Amino acid sequence: MDGYRPIPLEFERLSPEVQLRRSTEFLEWMQRRRSVRRFSTEPVAWELVENAIRVAGTAPSGANQQPWTFVAVSDQAVKQELRDAAEAEEWAAYHGRMPEEWHRAIEPIGTDWVKPHITDAPYVIVVFEQAYGLEGDGRRKHYYAKESVGIATGFLLAALHEAGLATLCHTPSPMGFLARILNRPRNERAFLLIPVGYPAEDAEVPEIPDKDLAEILVRV
């Protein structure tokens, strides 16, 4: 086991004016982010996707175990296979698997079981949680894996938005088919499917507001 090997921290102290300006600009930019369900088939430079995944890889994680895998799919045949499997699960969900309460909850979003974003978007990133580490035939415990992958996914979404790309968080249920189609090892569990690209010219988004700050902030 590696021991603690510290190195000097590199930290740039910003002036209060620069801090506030950067904070305000980032807030305004992130407030423009929306989930997109209709994508253009226009190509996206691979470097933009790769850089965003590099950003995700800088996220903090439990015991620094970095328990994530990002599978970027651009092959059209594989995307079609993913879509076919996702739509089969979604059709079952929309036609009896999910309770009426769920239908009421998603009604304002305007979604249904048809998922063209999987085949239209030039890239689909499937995020996997490494539920445990592999050591030969044995397992190595991963600490706070799900929380760590959630943080990394937030970094990923912000980085893609910063690059001027649109995304969607898609969680087909159940998601076991993703590991099967993408031939992932036994320790990986699908966490999220994220189409990445440019919005279609006729893309629309629901008119739904974010919660007011007073509803999400408690200052003690």
CATH of the domain at 113: 3.40.109.10
pLDDT of residue 136: 85
Residue 54 in domain = yes
Q: How many domains does the chain have?
A: 1
Look at residue 183 in the predicted model and tell me its pLDDT: 98
Mean pLDDT of 74-93: 96
11 domain residue, yes or no: no
Assess if residue 104 is contained within a domain: yes
- Identify whether 21 is part of a domain: no
Provide the domain limits for residue 53: 37-200
Residue 31 lies in a domain: no
Tell me the mean pLDDT in the region 10-33.
97
* pLDDT one-digit tens code per residue, 169-208: 999 989 999 999 999 999 999 999 999 999 999 999 999 9
Mean pLDDT (the chain) is 95
Q: Residue 1: which pLDDT band, with cuts at 50, 70 and 90?
A: low
Query: Average of pLDDT values for 66-76?
Result: 98
Is the pTM for the entire model greater than 0.75? yes
pLDDT at 214: 96
Cβ contacts of 168 within 8 Å, gap of 6 or more: 35, 36, 37, 117, 194, 195
Mean pLDDT of all residues in 45-52: 98
- What would the pLDDT profile of 84-111 be if each residue is shown by its tens digit? 999 999 999 889 888 989 889 988 888 8
129-174 pLDDT tens trace: 999 999 888 899 999 999 999 999 999 999 999 999 999 999 998 9
Which of 144, 117, 111, 118 shows the shortest CA–CA distance to 129?
A: 144
pLDDT for 61 beyond 80: yes
